[in-house]
Structure formats: structure tokens, C-alpha cells
Structure 1
């Protein structure tokens, strides 16, 4: 028995080690989320759907009992410092919003160093255009689209919500964005202090045009800016400064600064295993319900 227990423990340890080597931390979290029941009541009717012209793909998630009624839509962009990440690893975030009643689109986007600013925003705008044109086939309401994302993904959310250029370039009316919930995003971060930011925005002629705070306006879609007091990766001052700028223009904006929560903990709170640590998901859903209407 002792040998069997020892062998089982060694095999389990080897399995964990192999997963750690071949699967990213968000991917591991998605596996744990699934084992904890995060996938109950949801389905993925769209997997690796092509959009754009550079090999980009996206996934679509929705409640398993979606029925015939058109549901509000959340487009979610993952983080990774513009250099890493993939849509499959963030299935835990998609499942969380889908289980709350939304049709969720999770796009991939091209990464540095193969691209630099503004390619990530162009890819994001193409994902919005795809959603406008195709989400109804998956039970989503193209008249009720919200944007969300974490870290570098939250940057895309803020820029697409505030800087009209990127959606207009894709033939999309910027007013299609009915609400935005960016998590722990950089919004006022020039001069660039991190090597990833310097690489992502290398060669930009006017750095101010890369900053979401530059485009604060009174008619911006309602925004919930989520951050954590213990976030040392993208400090809370980004959310606080953007909120102040939006308030000054008369826009509708709310800040949630969760005590003791780190950069990673904020997005982890969307997963079933870590959901009790903070009310990130519940607060996001409540905000979206108000902005988008009944589900």
C-alpha cells in the first residue's frame, strides 16, 4: 500500500510538472476551473473561428440553455504584456461571463515582437466588427455589446472604447460599444518604464496618442474601471487618473479598487476556485446588467 501511495504521489507530481511546463498559468487555472465545475451550464459553440487577415482566431461561449432570446455580448481580451497569451487559456473568464448570461467572444491578437502599436488595436477592432456581423448566429445581440479584458487586454478595451479611430477604420460605429469593464489596465503610463511597453510602442511618433487618458470624453460609454490596491504591475493610479479625466468631461465612470488584491488576483477572481476572494465578477455583471439591460 505504501509503495502504491508513493507511486501515485510521484505520478501525480510528474503530471503537475508536465502541465506546468507545457501549459501557461492561465491555462492551468482554466483546467482547475473546469474541474471545479466552472463549465457547468455553458457551452462553446464557436472554436478557433477565423477573423481578420493575419490568422487571428476567436472563440464564442454562451449559456447552454441560451434559448431563442438574444443575449447581451461581452468581448473579452486577455493580457500578457502584448507578448504572450492565447484565447484558450482564458476559458475560465469566458465561462464566468457565459454562466452569468452573456454570449462571450474571446479573440486572439498578434503579439510583439512580430507587431507593434497599433496592430493590437487593429486586431481588436476587427474582432468587434466580426462580433457585430456574426454574433447573432450564436444567440448574441449585436445592439448590446460590451468590452472587457485584463491588463494588456484592458488597454485594448479602453482604447477601443475611447479612441474612435480604430473602430471607424473598420467601418464600425464607435457607439456600438455600450459599456466597458477593463481590469487592471494601463491608461496613463507614459513615459514607458517597462521593457514590454517600450517594445510594444517602439517608434511611435507621438506617445500621447497611445494613452487612453488622451481620449477621455464626455460621451464615452459607461465604464467600470477595476483595479487592486496591491497591484504593482499596473498600479491603481492608472484607473484613478483615467476616472478623474472622464469625470471632468462628464462621462459615466466607476472605479472599484479592491483592497489587498494583486494584478493577478483580480482576473483570477473570475474563476470558480478564486471567486470568493473578491466580488470582481459580481460587480462586473451588475454593472453590465445596468448598462446593457435585461438578459
Structure 2
């Protein structure tokens, strides 16, 4: 009996060692995929009303770095300020919705940024400068709600795609007392952003082809309105850094416009980078090109002192 007991004791001991070593080996081999585990570190707070005009509610989504608890109250904040991305969808100021942009914003969520993804009034609801007004109101909302959502107001990046990129440029470049469309809108505050990401957006609307666009009010003086709606009008020595991404064969926003924008940035001493994707059109970038683009974005942020991670 004694020998039998010793045999089983040794067997259990050896099995325990095997299980322990196998378990450790499995832990070493498992790689944590940040995208798979986003639900553990972030959640979407949808359809927050940030601006009301004539009973029309304009909404945004917040993708917030929060810890999932698995029980009531379900989520908690870590109490750490996070860099913020203020994002505006495209659609020619006439179409589009914030929901369509959600997947595009995951690179920031994976780095534990806070993301504010907005809708704004489209041309069928209100003519220019309404969309610009809404974008500035969203920036104001970020400042006013920084404590609740742990927004780092020293690290806010305005970004957008196409028409949304135009709005991102306007949001970041406008300063207090600037006026649009013959004083239809006068900027009331001096809220700042730390940088702007311009994904194939227009920086200059002062061209004849834009005359008669559905976003413009036909009663406005075209020359005055188009100049006031052109981001290049507001470039100056105090402007935030700008990085632009555009295909060289873009049929809607000629690459020459972005090249001119960045020439002016250099003249004013504005930190800037133009990422040109050869042979591509209006944002139809491949997986390899998008990986390259984001490496350029993170490198640019490192250069200008914008946090690249919310860790």
C-alpha cells in the first residue's frame, strides 16, 4: 500500500508540473488582439444631443475608454484623461451619417482615445454655414463635458473625410470673432484643437464650379460666402498643425488644392505634412496604404507633441 500511495503521489506531482508548464506555455503563446478586446476597454454612448436649432436635435456618439464590469453599473471610467478625436463624416454637405464612420475610427479606439463622432445639419435642413456652426458647437461640447468623459482638452484632434475634412479644417482654424457668410455666424469662443487631419477635403471653395452648390444659400453673395467658407482664409501663424491625406488622382478634390494648402502652411510656419497616395482617387486606399497612412499620422503626432495613446 505504501508503494502504491507513493506511485500515485509521484503521478499527481508530475501531472501538476505538466499542467503548470502547459498553462504557462499557453499564456506565453496567446497574443492579445486589441480589436477583439475593444469591448473590454471602450464602449459607444450613442445619440447624445449636443446642439438644438429650431427644435432640430443634432446628435453625436462618444466612444469612451471605459472598463466593462459585467454587472450593474456595467461600466466605469479609469479616471484618466484621454486624447480626443472630433470626427466629421463626408457626403458633400448633403448626405451621410455618423454611424457609417464608426469602423473607420477603430484605430483610435484601439489606442484608448476618446472619440466624438458627430452628425451635423445637411443642406436639406440648413444651408451654409450651418454645418460649420454645428462642428464648432461639437468642439464647445467637448470642452464643456471634459470632466464627465475624461477628455484631455490639451490633446484634441479635429478630423474628417471629404466634406467632413473641410469642416475639420474650419473647426480647427476659426478663431474668436471670425465671421461666415456675411455675419450669419460669428465665432463666440476661442476653443482650440491641437491638430487637424484632412482626409481628401477641400481647403478652398472659391472656384466657379462651386457656385450653385445645394449647400450654399442662393441669396448669399457668392464671393463673400465662398471666401468665408474656405479654410485657407483662416491660415495664420497661430494655426494648429495640419496633416492631409489624399490620392493623386482624386476626381472630386484635385491634389493641387492640398498642395497649395501645404505651401501656405509652410509660408506661415505651420507644422504640416501632406501624405500623397499615388494613383488613388477619393479615399479608395488599400490595406497596405491605410497602414502606411496611419504610421504617418502617428509619426506626425509624435513630432508635434500630440499624444498617440491614451494609456
TM (norm. structure 1) is: 0.77
In the superposition, relative to structure 1, how do residues 83 and 91 fare at CA in structure 2: closer, same or farther (>3 Å)?
same
Q: For 2:147 and 2:106, how far apart are their aligned partners in 1?
A: 19
Aligned residue-pair number: 251
- 4+ residue stretches of structure 1 with deviation over 6 A? none
User: Which residue of 137, 141, 154 corresponds with 2:152?
Assistant: 141
Partner of 1:242: 261
- For residues 189-208 of structure 1, give each alpha carbon's deviation from its aligned partner in whole angstroms, at most 9, with x where no partner exists: 3224258x722123332122
Partner of 2:197: 181
Q: For 2:164 and 2:79, how far apart are their aligned partners in 1?
A: 31
Structure 2, unmatched stretches of 5+, are 1-32, 68-76
- For residues 196-252 of structure 1, give each alpha carbon's deviation from its aligned partner in whole angstroms, at most 9, with x where no partner exists: x72212333212222111222121001111111121121111211111112112221
Deviation at 1:82, TM superposition (A): 0.6
Q: SS at 1:201's partner residue? A: coil
Deviation at 1:166, TM superposition (A): 7.0
Partner of 1:190: 206
Q: For 1:83 and 1:219, how far apart are their aligned partners in 2?
A: 31
Partner of 2:15: none
Partner of 1:284: 297
- For residues 44-96 of structure 1, give each alpha carbon's deviation from its aligned partner in whole angstroms, at most 9, with x where no partner exists: 34210011113100001134557332111110101000111111111112222
Deviation at 1:261, TM superposition (A): 2.4
Matched-pair contact (CA < 8 Å) for 2:246–2:283: no
Q: For 1:74 and 1:39, how far apart are their aligned partners in 2?
A: 21
Structure 1, unmatched stretches of 5+, are 1-35, 267-273
Deviation at 1:142, TM superposition (A): 2.0
Partner of 1:217: 236
Moved more, 278-287 or 44-53: 278-287
Q: SS at 1:193's partner residue? A: helix
Partner of 1:201: 216
User: Bigger relative contact order, structure 1 or 2, given CA contacts below 8 A and separation 6+?
Assistant: 1
Matched-pair contact (CA < 8 Å) for 2:244–2:275: yes
Moved more, 206-215 or 38-47: 38-47
Q: For 1:83 and 1:119, how far apart are their aligned partners in 2?
A: 12
Cα RMSD, aligned residues only: 2.6
Deviation at 1:153, TM superposition (A): 0.4
Matched-pair contact (CA < 8 Å) for 2:298–2:308: no
Is 1:158 paired with 2:169? Answer: yes
Partner of 2:139: 128
Q: For 1:90 and 1:288, how far apart are their aligned partners in 2?
A: 22
Q: For 1:131 and 1:39, how far apart are their aligned partners in 2?
A: 28
Is 1:98 paired with 2:109? Answer: yes
Moved more, 164-173 or 136-145: 164-173
Matched-pair contact (CA < 8 Å) for 2:301–2:308: no
TM (norm. structure 2) is: 0.73
Q: SS at 2:243's partner residue? A: strand
- For residues 165-207 of structure 1, give each alpha carbon's deviation from its aligned partner in whole angstroms, at most 9, with x where no partner exists: 3799564324x21111111001123224258x72212333212
Deviation at 1:294, TM superposition (A): 6.2
Matched-pair contact (CA < 8 Å) for 2:45–2:64: no
Q: SS at 1:263's partner residue? A: coil
Q: For 2:230 and 2:242, how far apart are their aligned partners in 1?
A: 16
Partner of 2:189: 172
The structure in which a higher percent of residues are helix is: 1
